[in-house]
Chains A and B, each alone.
Chain A
Amino acid sequence: MLELRLVQGSLLKKVLESIKELVNDANFDCSSTGFSLQAMDSSHVALVALLLRSEGFEHYRCDRNTSMGMNLNNMAKMLKCAGNDDIITIKADDGSDTVTFMFESPTQDKISDFEMKLMDIDSEHLGIPEAEYHAIVKMPSSEFARICKDLSSIGDTVVISITKEGVKFSTKGDIGTANIVCRQNTSVDKPEEATVIEMNEPVSLTFALRYMNSFTKATPLSNTVTISLSNELPVVVEYKIAEMGYVRFYLAPKIEEDEEDTKPQV
C-alpha cells in the first residue's frame, strides 16, 4: 500500500504545472527514499527529473517499491481541484489500477476524494551521472524567466557564454540581435536576489529557446534557479522544492552548422 500525505499541497500543484508542458505521460516511482519521476519530451531533446524526498511528507508509507503511470495533463486537472492551502494525500493499493487523491481543507471542514485511472507506460530510463560542471550560475528565477522570454521574441536559439566578467545570453534573428549580460553581485541584502557565478573555465553553448521557456514554468517553485554548464554537455536548470527535493531540466545543446555566422562577439 502507498499513502503519502503532504501538508503543503500547493507544491505538488506547482510541480505538475511546471512539467506537464514538456511531458505528456510519465511513470512516478515510489520507494522508501521518496517520490520521483524521470521523463523525456516527445522529441528526446529535453529530460526532466523530479525528486520529493520522503522526509518532506507529513506521512510517508510505502510498503514496497511501486511505479504508477499517469497522464500529466489529467493529473494536473485533478490537482487543480485542490485549494492552495489544502493538504493532499495520495493513496494507492498494491496492484491497483487507480490512484486516489484526497484534498483536506486546513480546517478539516471539507474533504474531497478524486480517483484517477493509471496507465501502463513503457519509457526509457536514462542514467544521469553526478557530474562536476565547468561553470555554475545561480540567479533569481524570475530574472532567468524574463531573460528567456525577452530573447525568444528576437530569435529561436540562445547562446549562453560564461566568462569571468559574467554570464551573457545572446540571440540573433531576422530583425536583429540581442545580448543580455548579468554580472556577479553578491552584495545585495536578500540572498535570493544575488547572482553568483562559479567558473572553472569559460563555457559557451547554444540551446533552443523554446525548451528554455518551458523550463521557466517552474519559476513559482523556487526563488532561485541554478544553471550548470559544461562544454559539449547538456545544461542543467534546477529549481529547488522547499526543503524536500528538486526538479531538474536537462537540455541537449545545439551544434553550430556554420560557426562564422553564429559565433558570438566576445
Chain B
Amino acid sequence: MGVGGNFWDLLKPYARKEGFDFLRNKRVAVDLSFWIVQHENAIKATHVRNPHLRLTFFRTINLFSKFGALPVFIVDGTPSPLKSRARIVRYFRSSGIELASLPVPEEGVSAERNHMFSSHVQKCVELVELLGMPVLKAKGEAESLCAQLNSEGHVDACITADSDAFLFGANCIIKCFCPNFKEPFECYNMSDIEAGLGLKRKHLIAISLLVGNDHDIKGVRGIGLDTALRFVKAFSEEDILNRLHEIGKGNTSQIPIFIKFEDDMDMDGNSLNRKQSHCSLCGHPGSKKDHMKFPCEFCVTKADEGCQRKPEDFKCDCFSCDMNRKHKEKKRLKNWHTKICHKIAEEPNFPKNEIIDMYLCNDNASDGPHIVWGKPNIEMLIDFLNFHQHWEPAYVRRMMFPMMSTIFLRDMTTTTEETMLFGQYQFDSIERVKMRYGYQFFVVKWKHAGVNISCKVPLKESSVQQDAIIELDETVDLLDDCDVPEIHEDSGCRFLLTDENMDLVGAAFPAEVKRFWQDQELKRRKNSTSRSQENEKSPSPNSRSIQLNITEFYPSTKVKHRQSKQGGGESSKIADSQGNEGSKMKRKMSSPDKIPKSVRRRLLFD
C-alpha cells in the first residue's frame, strides 16, 4: 500500500533495471510478511502443502546461492492503532457495509493480525532461522525497520513493494523481485528521486499526509497527488512539516517566501501601472488625441502619418504592463495557495503527529541490530521440513546443496582448512563453463568422499520416490526456479554438479581455476591445429598416389658452394667420385641384361 494515489507512477521514470548480479554480496532487508502475502495470492488456486514454507525455503536458497545476496528477514511488530483503524475502514469499504455501522475501537487499542497469518509468519521465521538467516522484529511496520537498516548502513537495499519505505528513510528499494533470472530488478534510489523530482524525505511524508497513506486513507479532501506535489515543492524540506502544522491550526497566511517577497515588489509596480494610460488606437502608452496628431515612439511610421491601429490579441511590451502581468500571476498563485491552505485547515486534526512521528522514528527495532549469517542447522531443518512438508531427508539435503556449496566456497576464501560439504563431499574439479540467461557460471564437480556401492540403490530409490512427490508440487515450481544439483556416477564414484559464481570459485580455489583455463587454451589450440591440417588436405582431393622425392634415387652430398678456390675444387672432386661410384654400381647390376648392340651404342652416346 504505502502512499496513496498513483505514487509509484510518479516515481516510475526513475526506476533502474538492474541485472541479476546486482545483489551479489549485498545485504538486503526482506519484508517477510510481504513475501507470504505474495505467495498466497500467487498460488491461491493451487493445492500445495504449506506454500508459504515451501516458497520461503526455495526463495531463500535462490537469493543466497544464485543471486549471492545476504538476506535479513524483517517481521512486522504490532501495528499502530491508526493502521488498525485504517484497515477496518478498508475492509468495510470493500465489503459494501455501511460506514455508519463502523465500530469505533477504543483509543490507543490496536487489533492484531488474524491468527492464521500470524501462524504462517511464525513458521517462516522458524524456517529461515534454521537456514541460518538473521531475523529481526520491528516495533511496528516491517518496512520501517527495513528502511532504518538501509539508512544506517546495515543493509544495502530493501526488498519491498511498499512505498512507505522511502518515507521511513530508505535509500534503495527493490520493488520487483522475480525469483528467476529472466526479468531485471526494478530498483529505485532516493538519490535519483531527489535529483529528478526535487523531493526529499520530508517532502514525501508531507505528500502522503495530504494524499493519504496506510494510516490515514483519505488524506485531505480535494487534494490529489499532482496538487500535493506542486504544493509541497514550494517549500524547503526543513520547513514543510512546520508549515503544515501552522496551516492546520488555521493560520492561512502561510505562503511560500518567494511569493511573498515578489508580492511586495509588485506593490510598487502596481502603483506605476496606474500612472500610465494607453492609447485605444495603437495600444501603446499615451492618449488617443496625442497619437492622432503625432505618432508615438513605439509606432515606427513616417512623420506625416498617425499611429497604426493595433492588431488583434495585441500585448503591450512596456515596462509597466510587464510588471502588471507578473503581478497578476503572483496574485493567482497566491490565491491558489490560499485555497489549498483553506482545504487543509478544514481537515480536522490535521496533520496527525502520530503519523509524522512514526515516519521519522529512528528506533524501529524491538532489539538492537544483531545481524549475523550463520550456518544452516541441517538436522533440525530436516526434521522441520519432514514434519511440515513431508520431505525425505535425502531430498532436503539435495535441495540444500547449492546453499551449502556457496557457504563452503565463501569459507574457503577466508580459511585454508580443508573441510567437507555435509561431511561427505569435497571439491573435485571444474567441469565446464555454463551460460545461463547471458551470465557465465562454473559447473563445479563435487566428489563423494567415500565409495559406498551399497548406498547406490537406496539413494536411487529415494530419488525416484521423491520425484513422485515433486510431481504433486510441479505447478508451483514455475514460481521459483529450483536449481537441483545434477547427480553423476563415474567408475564407482559419486559426484554432484552445481552452478557456482565464477568470482567465488576463483577466490576459493585460484589454482584450480588457473588450471582449468590452461586446459581450455590447450583444447582451443588442438582444434585450430586439426582445422589447419584439414585445410592442408583439401587442396588435392584427387591425389591417390604418394609423390616420391628425387633425393631417394640419387646419392646426396651437401656441399657449400663458395667462390673460394679450394671449395670449388673439393666439391668437383667429391661429385666426380660419387658419380663414378654410382656408375660402377649401376653397370654391375645391369650387366646380366642383354641389350641389342644398336641400343647399347645409342644409350652410351646419350
Interfacial residues, chain A to chain B (CB-CB below 8 A):
27, 29, 31, 40, 44-47, 64-69, 95-97, 118, 120-133, 136, 155-157, 173-174, 198, 200, 206, 208, 226, 228, 233-234, 238, 250-258, 261-262
**What's the nearest-Cβ distance from chain B to residue A112, in Å?**
25
Task: Say whether, besides A65-B569, A127-B582, A200-B599, A256 and B557 are in contact (CB < 8 Å).
Answer: no
- Closest Cβ neighbor of A122 among chain B residues: B560
Known pairs A129-B582, A129-B583; list 18 more (Cβ under 8 Å): A27-B561, A29-B572, A31-B572, A65-B569, A95-B563, A120-B561, A121-B561, A122-B561, A126-B555, A129-B585, A130-B583, A155-B542, A173-B542, A174-B542, A206-B545, A228-B606, A253-B548, A262-B544
Cα–Cα distance between A29 and B556 once the two chains are bound (Å): 17
Contact of A127 with B551 in the complex, beta carbons under 8 Å: no
**What's the nearest-Cβ distance from chain A to residue B599, in Å?**
5
Cα–Cα distance between A129 and B574 once the two chains are bound (Å): 14
**What's the nearest-Cβ distance from chain B to residue A59, in Å?**
21
Cβ < 8 Å to A, chain B residues 572-594: 572, 574-575, 578-579, 581-583, 585-586, 590, 593
Which of B540, B575, B586, B606 is the one whose CB lies under 8 Å from A226? B606
Contact of A200 with B550 in the complex, beta carbons under 8 Å: no
Which of chain A's residues have a CB closer than 8 A to the CB of B603?
132-133, 136
- Closest Cβ neighbor of B546 among chain A residues: A255
- Closest Cβ neighbor of A67 among chain B residues: B561
B19: Cβ under 8 A from any A Cβ: no
Which of A40, A96, A97 is the one whose CB lies under 8 Å from B550? A40
Cα–Cα distance between A153 and B351 once the two chains are bound (Å): 102
Task: Say whether, besides A125-B571, A257-B544, A233 and B606 are in contact (CB < 8 Å).
Answer: no
Contact of A118 with B550 in the complex, beta carbons under 8 Å: no
Contact of B550 with A250 in the complex, beta carbons under 8 Å: yes
Contact of A69 with B545 in the complex, beta carbons under 8 Å: no
Which of chain A's residues have a CB closer than 8 A to the CB of B606?
136, 226, 228, 238
B367: Cβ under 8 A from any A Cβ: no
Which of chain B's residues have a CB closer than 8 A to the CB of A31?
572
- Closest Cβ neighbor of A157 among chain B residues: B545
Cα–Cα distance between A68 and B556 once the two chains are bound (Å): 20
19 pairs, CB–CB < 8 Å, chain A vs chain B:
A44-B550, A45-B549, A45-B550, A124-B556, A125-B556, A126-B550, A126-B554, A127-B575, A129-B583, A129-B585, A157-B543, A174-B542, A200-B595, A200-B599, A208-B547, A252-B548, A255-B546, A257-B545, A258-B544
Cβ < 8 Å to A, chain B residues 325-359: none
Q: Mark B513-526, 1 if CB is under 8 A from A, else 0.
A: 00000000000000
Cβ < 8 Å to A, chain B residues 202-252: none
Which of A66, A122, A157, A257 is the one whose CB lies under 8 Å from B558? A122
Categorize the interface residue count of chain B.
Answer: 35 or more
Task: Say whether, besides A208-B547, A238-B606, A255-B545, A128 and B563 are in contact (CB < 8 Å).
Answer: no
Which of A47, A97, A125, A206 is the one whose CB lies under 8 Å from B559? A125
Cα–Cα distance between A66 and B565 once the two chains are bound (Å): 7
B107: Cβ under 8 A from any A Cβ: no
B196: Cβ under 8 A from any A Cβ: no
Task: Say whether, besides A95-B563, A125-B571, A45 and B547 are in contact (CB < 8 Å).
Answer: yes
Task: Say whether, besides A124-B556, A124-B558, A44 and B551 are in contact (CB < 8 Å).
Answer: yes
**What's the nearest-Cβ distance from chain A to residue B578, in Å?**
3
B258: Cβ under 8 A from any A Cβ: no
Which of chain B's residues have a CB closer than 8 A to the CB of A228?
606
Cα–Cα distance between A43 and B85 once the two chains are bound (Å): 99
The 9 A-B residue pairs whose C-beta atoms are closest, nearest first, are A127-B578, A129-B582, A254-B545, A126-B554, A252-B548, A65-B568, A27-B561, A67-B561, A129-B583
Which of chain B's residues have a CB closer than 8 A to the CB of A256?
544-545
B275: Cβ under 8 A from any A Cβ: no
Which of chain B's residues have a CB closer than 8 A to the CB of A69?
561
- Closest Cβ neighbor of B557 among chain A residues: A125
**What's the nearest-Cβ distance from chain A to residue B226, in Å?**
82
Cα–Cα distance between A257 and B545 once the two chains are bound (Å): 5
B602: Cβ under 8 A from any A Cβ: yes
Of residues A31, A65, A66, A132, which shows the largest number of chain B Cβ atoms within 10 Å of its Cβ?
A: A132
Contact of A126 with B595 in the complex, beta carbons under 8 Å: no
Which of A40, A129, A208, A257 is the one whose CB lies under 8 Å from B586? A129
Contact of A127 with B547 in the complex, beta carbons under 8 Å: no
B562: Cβ under 8 A from any A Cβ: yes
Task: Say whether, besides A123-B561, A125-B559, A226-B606, A262 and B545 are in contact (CB < 8 Å).
Answer: yes
B553: Cβ under 8 A from any A Cβ: yes
Which of chain B's residues have a CB closer than 8 A to the CB of A118?
563
B510: Cβ under 8 A from any A Cβ: no
- Closest Cβ neighbor of A64 among chain B residues: B565
Cα–Cα distance between A250 and B548 once the two chains are bound (Å): 12
Contact of B550 with A68 in the complex, beta carbons under 8 Å: no
**What's the nearest-Cβ distance from chain A to residue B544, in Å?**
5
Cα–Cα distance between A155 and B540 once the two chains are bound (Å): 11
Contact of B568 with A128 in the complex, beta carbons under 8 Å: no
Which of B554, B558, B567, B590 is the one whose CB lies under 8 Å from A128? B554
Cα–Cα distance between A228 and B604 once the two chains are bound (Å): 13
Contact of B548 with A126 in the complex, beta carbons under 8 Å: no
Which of chain A's residues have a CB closer than 8 A to the CB of B582?
127-129
Of residues A131, A133, A208, which shows the largest number of chain B Cβ atoms within 10 Å of its Cβ?
A: A131
Contact of B585 with A46 in the complex, beta carbons under 8 Å: no
**What's the nearest-Cβ distance from chain A to residue B142, in Å?**
80
Which of chain B's residues have a CB closer than 8 A to the CB of A133?
603
B552: Cβ under 8 A from any A Cβ: yes
Which of chain A's residues have a CB closer than 8 A to the CB of B559?
123-125
Contact of A252 with B583 in the complex, beta carbons under 8 Å: no
Cα–Cα distance between A234 and B547 once the two chains are bound (Å): 11
- Closest Cβ neighbor of B540 among chain A residues: A156
Contact of B550 with A252 in the complex, beta carbons under 8 Å: yes
Cα–Cα distance between A155 and B563 once the two chains are bound (Å): 44
Of residues A27, A64, A262, which shows the largest number of chain B Cβ atoms within 10 Å of its Cβ?
A: A27
**What's the nearest-Cβ distance from chain B to residue A111, in Å?**
27
**What's the nearest-Cβ distance from chain B to residue A168, in Å?**
18
Of residues A130, A133, A238, A251, which shows the largest number of chain B Cβ atoms within 10 Å of its Cβ?
A: A130
Cα–Cα distance between A211 and B552 once the two chains are bound (Å): 17
Which of chain A's residues have a CB closer than 8 A to the CB of B572?
29, 31, 65
Q: Mark B394-422, 1 if CB is under 8 A from A, else 0.
A: 00000000000000000000000000000
Contact of B543 with A156 in the complex, beta carbons under 8 Å: yes
- Closest Cβ neighbor of A240 among chain B residues: B606
Contact of A132 with B590 in the complex, beta carbons under 8 Å: yes
- Closest Cβ neighbor of A126 among chain B residues: B554
Cα–Cα distance between A261 and B590 once the two chains are bound (Å): 32
Cα–Cα distance between A31 and B188 once the two chains are bound (Å): 96
